A and B are shown apart, each in its own frame.
Chain A
């Protein structure tokens, strides 16, 4: 089945630093790709998505580009803030007998220090 591999964390950065969280995937066909963010004590929130190769998803200063040739969907932000501290999950869709499901990576903890 489809799978997602994320860089291990935690990632610790100073405020205004550049962020990259690596995500690579294994999939049959052409899945949609997603980044979700989870703040402490909360559920996951959709951050951005891309549904086909070379698409760029963006939201709140975060960006990720669907790279079919390298099977990657790395998350980037030019200048992180303390409020970006959270767990970030990369995910892709996998077809099931009835519908699709999201397959998640293990998550990467981001800590931003002021």
Chain B
């Protein structure tokens, strides 16, 4: 069982470059999420998709865009990377958006912007 698959695992960008982080899940989950993890700050929600065809902002959406391509895939795009976006990015999915469901996380993308 693959679960949640993220690509790439590592990436170095120059300031101003763009890139797309890919995420796919094979568990038939309805909801998908993008978080960033920074030291001492836990995980912060960037964007989420409660169901196929919908996307909404989380607490730190500036500088990012997302696309829920289909039920399986949820991509995160950085249009013009900045050093402040250096972080570890995690994609997650859940069966639904009820408060009782936990999330399944991918293994993360470590992004460095120089």
**Which residues of the partner chain A approach B58 to less than 8 Å between Cβ atoms?**
101
Chain A nearest CB from B33 CB (Å) reads 7
- Tell me which residues from 80 to 114 in chain B have a Cβ below 8 Å from any Cβ of chain A: 90, 92, 96-100, 102-108
In the assembled complex, which residues on chain A have CB atoms less than 8 Å from the CB atom of B42?
4, 89, 104-107
Interface residues of B in 46-86 (CB under 8 A from A): 48, 50, 54, 56, 58
* B100 CB contact (under 8 Å) in A36, A42, A51, A99: A51
Report Cα–Cα, A30/B40, bound state, in Å.
26
A99 and B50 alpha carbons, distance in the complex (Å)? 6
Question: Interface residue tally of chain A, by bracket?
Answer: 20 to 34
| B interface, over-half SS | loop
Whether the Cβ atoms of A46 and B40 lie closer than 8 Å is no
**How many residues of B are counted as interface, with CB atoms below 8 angstroms from the partner's CB atoms?**
28
With A34-B102, A43-B90 already in contact, the answer to whether A106 and B56 are too (CB < 8 A) is: no
Q: How far does the alpha carbon of A76 sit from the alpha carbon of B58 in the complex, in Å?
A: 31
Alpha-carbon distance between A97 and B33 when the two chains are bound, in angstroms: 15
Task: Report if A32-B50 is in contact (Cβ < 8 Å); known contacts: A101-B45, A101-B58.
Answer: no
Contact of A100 with B106 in the complex, beta carbons under 8 Å: no
Give the CA-CA distance A45 to B102 in the complex, in Å: 9
CB distance from B44 to the nearest CB of A (A): 8
Contact A42 B54 (CB under 8 A): no
Q: Which residues of B contact A (CB under 8 A)?
A: 4, 31, 33, 40-45, 48, 50, 54, 56, 58, 90, 92, 96-100, 102-108
